[in-house]
Structure 1
Amino acid sequence: MDSEKRKANSYIDKFLGLVENVGNKLPHPTTLFALFALAVIILSGIVSLFNFEVIHPGTGEIIKPVSLLTVEGLHRILLNLITNFTSFAPLGTVLVSLLGIAVAEHSGLIGAVLRLLVLKAPKNLLTFVIVFAGILSNTASEIGYVLLVPLSAIIFLAVGRHPIAGLAAAFAGVSGGYSANLLLGTIDPLLAGLSQEAAHIIDATYEVNPAANYYFMFVSTFFIAAAGTWVTEKIVIPRLGAYTGSEKPEEIKELSKEERKGLVYAGVTSLVITIIILIGILPENGFLRDPATQSILKSPFLKGIVSFIFFGGTIVGIAYGIGAKTIKNDNDVIKGMNKSMETLGSYIVLVFFAAQFVAFFNWTNLGMIVAVEGAIILKSSGLGPIPLLLTFIIISSIINL
């Protein structure tokens, strides 16, 4: 039995080693998008030579490839390079939402909430709470790695458990649950923007709301927290064994009086904002509903969810900062926003090349051609809805590695 387990573990280790080696050899994501954009230009010229065409399934229109390896193609690239970038959906949505979240993070609100959540957790639920807090931490992007991972190691050591297990549990929550949450955060506008750009290959008017994935995110939060807890308790901790190091546990500081006051201010402010939103969407003629149809699905509330993330993060963050005395004037608020923008340099560079790739892909009609031909292949394969859905999940998971 033990030999079979060791053999299985060796296979897993080899597979993970292979994934790591392949991943390390891949170019930078920005370089990949630049290469993809160049490949689309070249491929458009090649495909257009063969008079290839497909019929649009919705309109019946004949779709032919458009070559960018022409003088007209060169002119189009030169004239639209800037607008491709500035009109790329994930750019503005991420920047705006992060400005609001940045105030909440800079004021100390998010850090205080995470500390309170972990410090007050019952010992028998500590692992679950740490993984759960790790998942919630992605609301503020990278704060989980910076704050929660080391804090969890200290807490595990303080209660007599292996600190590496605490570190692993927090890391599992932060990284494994990066796209799950109970709240909308900075990652949701990004994913919505990317999905919208992809949808425009088929329908140029299609809009993807940042809250479109919320039900899945909500359920995934508890599922990932439970899975992370099980793996930590049943696999990680037994493999680590008892902690025999000489490191003494650090004193874990409780929230200060100012921090608690800040949380009260933030809680009251959040309650007021929630009441205002409910007044705007619950009544049939609520001011946040669609004025024409009174619908919630296409209401200013859901369409403007990024704005609510911005205003919510900013206002609640300021409220906490006033109570905790971490924000003394407007300069502190602006400083928090500036700090968040400093971290987005690599993202903006990535978006520039990603925007060109998506634009070129749409211009050449290669996206539509691939979509139609792919649909024909899938239809002829005889795959049912469930196997097809599982195939997409597996492919997405492999790409995500």
Structure 2
Amino acid sequence: MTTRPAKPSFFMSFLNKIEYWGNKLPDPVMIFIGLCIITIIASALLSAMDVTAFNPVTKETVHVINLLTIDGLTQMITKATTNFTQFPALGVVLVVMFGIGVAEHSGYFRAVMIATVEKAPIKLIMPVLILVAMLGTVAGDASQIVVPPLAAMIFVRLGYHPIAGLVMAYAAALGAFAANTIIGMADALALSFTEASLKTINVDIPVNIAMNWYFMTASMFLLLFVILFVTQKIIIPRLGEYTPEHQEEAVNDLTIIEKKGLKWANLSLLTILVAITVLAIPESSFLRNPESGSLIDGPLIQGVAIVIAIIFFIPGFIYAAITKKARNSKDIVEMMNRSMAGMSSFIVIVFFSAQMIALFAWSNLGLIIAIKGASLLENQNGFTLIIGFIIITSIINIFIGSASAKWALLAPIFVPMFLFLGYHPAFTQAIYRVGDSITNPITPMMAYLPLLLSFAKKYDKNMGLGTLISNLFPYSLALGIVWTLFVLIWYWFGLPVGPGGPIFLEQKYF
């Protein structure tokens, strides 16, 4: 008698469908190419239908511009290169990566993570691991790749199931991806598309890379406790005891030379931070705006890309020199080259998304969608808007893993839409980043999930993707509930989300 396989549970069936249909989606680049084609055709059809909208900013009626004309096609061809090269914050992202690349590829970030965990008291091991995973996201792939296997090994030492350590670190790095006290790559990427979306409606509102810093810093400490609670109360009891099939490898301790390099690299980092702080204090500081004396619109924030690059470059360089990871200048340049190579996918996405954003602007489609969408939502209260936007973003995130690809798609619509409802772009961006983060752990579209599965199979050779995601789902659920409530509370108190990032627009912008 043949035993029929057990029918998958509703939850597993749901996950299987997400994985199946998610794998059917084309690459984000192809999505943008398709959107460009759709935008061109839509501009012709809607122009012929004489679709219009009243712009509350300029007090003028906006018409759809037909791009499927000789002039439109000429503009697409002649402006394609400048659309790309003049894309806002593209330079910021690439400059920041020079410094981060040296710090990452020299091994400095890895050394910091290992040393931090080694020195933490037993009771603080889990919180420290979570904190390191969250802070480590500023280093690009370092946190998602290094911290989960490190956490698994440490959990074995503590007597817990190693899979619990894997999923905890992975959820901390990706589920709370936007929450960080350090301004880095994620902030630069988000800013680039937010700023570009403002240009589509010709509204000059100052935005900066640090405009979500207050909210994201507070979020980091809140979410640390959420992840810790889920791990201790749900994941560890659910996985139970672990009996290793063989002796586990110990976490590799830092060598004497690596500890020496880390010491001097950290000292250089502290020196840089103190120097910047001291230089920024005087009202006459060259880091401040010479007229207003403000830091927000002064050289420090306006040139923050080079500042961040230096903050990461110098410790990375010192660590590489002391540990002999770089024996000459060519090795340092090679680290920067490897960093730029890792940005190739972002650069390709930016090229095509820049064309789409330009087409939206030229055709006025983005502006009209925003105006009409705002008119439909104008009677909705802020709480409904916030919850709805987070839910929409989190669902889209399951199918499109790239944060930059999603925001390039959503920013031209939602930034203007919320703008017309009176919300500052900084607040809209902050809401998006919440929705973009909470479903990261459970999406099959995330490139790190297969890597996590390979780590898990080291401890359980029968580990499947469904089992792995089922242990990650409680984190996404808890983060989604708590972080959304936190946004609503922040909104209720009317607190700015960062420097130069109020919730509501000032009257002078209209």
TM-score between both structures, scaled by the size of structure 2: 0.73
Q: Percent identical across equivalent pairs?
A: 38
**Mapping of 1:85-234 within 5 angstroms?**
85-234=84-233
1:32 is aligned to 31
SS at match of 2:296: coil
2: CA distance, partners of 1:129 / 1:269: 23
**Mapping of 1:319-330 within 5 angstroms?**
319-330=318-329
Give, in angstroms, the shift of residue 123 of structure 1. 2.4
Give, in angstroms, the shift of residue 77 of structure 1. 0.4
User: Is the 1:135–1:174 contact (alpha carbons within 8 Å) kept by the matching residues of 2?
Assistant: yes
**Mapping of 1:221-300 within 5 angstroms?**
221-300=220-299
**Mapping of 1:336-351 within 5 angstroms?**
336-351=335-350
Give, in angstroms, the shift of residue 197 of structure 1. 1.1
Give, in angstroms, the shift of residue 312 of structure 1. 1.4
Deviations 1:50-99 (A, max 9, x none): 12222221121221111111111100001011111111124322211111
User: Is the 2:200–2:358 contact (alpha carbons within 8 Å) kept by the matching residues of 1?
Assistant: no
Q: Look up the equivalent residue of 1:308 and give its one-letter code.
A: V
Q: Look up the equivalent residue of 1:173 and give its one-letter code.
A: A
2: CA distance, partners of 1:247 / 1:207: 58
Is 2:67 aligned against 1:68? yes
User: Is the 1:85–1:352 contact (alpha carbons within 8 Å) kept by the matching residues of 2?
Assistant: yes
* Larger mean Cα displacement after TM superposition, 122-131 or 79-88: 122-131
SS at match of 1:376: helix
**Mapping of 1:329-368 within 5 angstroms?**
329-368=328-367
* Larger mean Cα displacement after TM superposition, 35-44 or 273-282: 273-282
Give, in angstroms, the shift of residue 154 of structure 1. 1.5
**2:389 alignment partner, one of 389, 392, 398:** 392
Q: Look up the equivalent residue of 2:270 and give its one-letter code.
A: L
2: CA distance, partners of 1:171 / 1:74: 46
Give, in angstroms, the shift of residue 11 of structure 1. 4.5
User: Is the 2:200–2:366 contact (alpha carbons within 8 Å) kept by the matching residues of 1?
Assistant: yes
Give, in angstroms, the shift of residue 343 of structure 1. 1.7
Q: Look up the equivalent residue of 1:400 and give its one-letter code.
A: N
2: CA distance, partners of 1:199 / 1:326: 43
* Larger mean Cα displacement after TM superposition, 285-294 or 115-124: 115-124
Give, in angstroms, the shift of residue 119 of structure 1. 2.2
1: CA distance, partners of 2:121 / 2:167: 19
2: CA distance, partners of 1:94 / 1:82: 18
SS at match of 1:63: strand
SS at match of 1:89: coil
User: Is the 1:280–1:289 contact (alpha carbons within 8 Å) kept by the matching residues of 2?
Assistant: no
1: CA distance, partners of 2:273 / 2:133: 24
2:42 is aligned to 43
1: CA distance, partners of 2:10 / 2:127: 29
1:3 is aligned to none
User: Is the 1:193–1:208 contact (alpha carbons within 8 Å) kept by the matching residues of 2?
Assistant: no
1: CA distance, partners of 2:278 / 2:119: 33
SS at match of 2:283: coil
Give, in angstroms, the shift of residue 369 of structure 1. 0.6
1: CA distance, partners of 2:74 / 2:99: 39
* Larger mean Cα displacement after TM superposition, 144-153 or 284-293: 144-153
Deviations 1:4-39 (A, max 9, x none): xxxxx9444444333333322211111111111111
1: CA distance, partners of 2:356 / 2:245: 53
Give, in angstroms, the shift of residue 107 of structure 1. 1.6
Structure 1: runs of 5+ lacking an equivalent: 1-8
User: Is the 1:139–1:185 contact (alpha carbons within 8 Å) kept by the matching residues of 2?
Assistant: yes
SS at match of 1:313: helix
2:78 is aligned to 79
User: Is the 1:45–1:67 contact (alpha carbons within 8 Å) kept by the matching residues of 2?
Assistant: yes
1: CA distance, partners of 2:255 / 2:25: 46
Q: Look up the equivalent residue of 1:317 and give its one-letter code.
A: G
Give, in angstroms, the shift of residue 244 of structure 1. 2.0
User: Is the 2:160–2:241 contact (alpha carbons within 8 Å) kept by the matching residues of 1?
Assistant: yes
2: CA distance, partners of 1:57 / 1:151: 54
Give, in angstroms, the shift of residue 260 of structure 1. 1.8
2: CA distance, partners of 1:133 / 1:275: 22
Q: Look up the equivalent residue of 2:128 and give its one-letter code.
A: V
* Larger mean Cα displacement after TM superposition, 199-208 or 90-99: 199-208
SS at match of 1:54: strand
Deviations 1:307-366 (A, max 9, x none): 111111112211222333323321121011011112222222211111111111111111
1:21 is aligned to 20
2:494 is aligned to none
**Mapping of 1:307-318 within 5 angstroms?**
307-318=306-317
1: CA distance, partners of 2:305 / 2:176: 21
SS at match of 2:178: coil
Q: Look up the equivalent residue of 2:296 and give its one-letter code.
A: L
CA distance change for structure 1 residues 229 and 17 in 2, over 3 Å: closer, same or farther?
farther
Q: Look up the equivalent residue of 1:399 and give its one-letter code.
A: I
2: CA distance, partners of 1:204 / 1:126: 48
TM-score between both structures, scaled by the size of structure 1: 0.92
Give, in angstroms, the shift of residue 202 of structure 1. 2.9
* Larger mean Cα displacement after TM superposition, 278-287 or 41-50: 278-287
**Aligned residue pairs, count:** 391
2: CA distance, partners of 1:324 / 1:180: 32
User: Is the 1:158–1:249 contact (alpha carbons within 8 Å) kept by the matching residues of 2?
Assistant: no
2: CA distance, partners of 1:37 / 1:179: 29
* Larger mean Cα displacement after TM superposition, 37-46 or 12-21: 12-21
Q: Look up the equivalent residue of 2:329 and give its one-letter code.
A: D
Give, in angstroms, the shift of residue 245 of structure 1. 2.9
Q: Look up the equivalent residue of 1:341 and give its one-letter code.
A: M
2: CA distance, partners of 1:164 / 1:80: 51
Give, in angstroms, the shift of residue 207 of structure 1. 4.2
* Larger mean Cα displacement after TM superposition, 231-240 or 318-327: 318-327
2: CA distance, partners of 1:244 / 1:267: 39
1: CA distance, partners of 2:118 / 2:315: 22
